């Protein structure tokens, strides 16, 4: 994993272990989304750029915050996952390949 569970929990300001499984799932999902945006596996990096880690953490935080699919988030387009992905595309844009 590019982002460790400990890094994600620190970023999310979580001290307990109760949601470790959920956070780990968000880490893996965030990394997969980054790979889709970049159009190559993160394993191709000799050393993962801080920019990529930040994009993963941003994705994790958004998924964690919206994890319960509240009425507000489901009705507010600006709070959707598509907005999160658009921001990640901006963050990762200079590293993105033209195609797979």
CA dist 78 and 74 (Å) reads 10
Render pLDDT for 4-20 as a digit per residue (tens, 0 to 9).
999 999 999 999 999 99
pLDDT (0 to 100) of residue 20:
97
pLDDT (0 to 100) of residue 77:
52
- For the residues 49-74, what does the mean pLDDT come to? 85
pLDDT (0 to 100) of residue 61:
96
Q: Which residues of 16-40 are buried (b: 16+ CB within 10 A; e: fewer)?
A: eeeeeeebeebbeebbebbbebbeb
CA dist 73 and 30 (Å) reads 19
Average pLDDT across the chain, whole number: 90
To the nearest whole percent, how much of the chain has pLDDT over 70?
A: 89
To the nearest whole percent, how much of the chain has pLDDT over 90?
A: 78
pLDDT (0 to 100) of residue 99:
85
Q: Where are the domains of the chain?
A: 5-95
């Amino acid at each position: 994993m590019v982002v460790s569970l400990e890094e994600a929990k620190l970023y999310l300001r979580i001290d307990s272990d109760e949601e470790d499984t959920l956070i780990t799932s968000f880490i893996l999902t965030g990394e997969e989304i980054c790979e889709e945006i970049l159009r190559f596996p993160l394993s191709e990096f000799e050393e993962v750029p801080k920019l990529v880690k930040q994009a993963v953490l941003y994705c994790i935080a958004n998924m964690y915050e919206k994890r319960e699919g509240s009425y507000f988030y489901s009705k507010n387009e600006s709070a959707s996952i598509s907005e999160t992905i658009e921001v990640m595309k901006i963050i990762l844009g200079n590293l993105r390949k033209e195609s797979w």
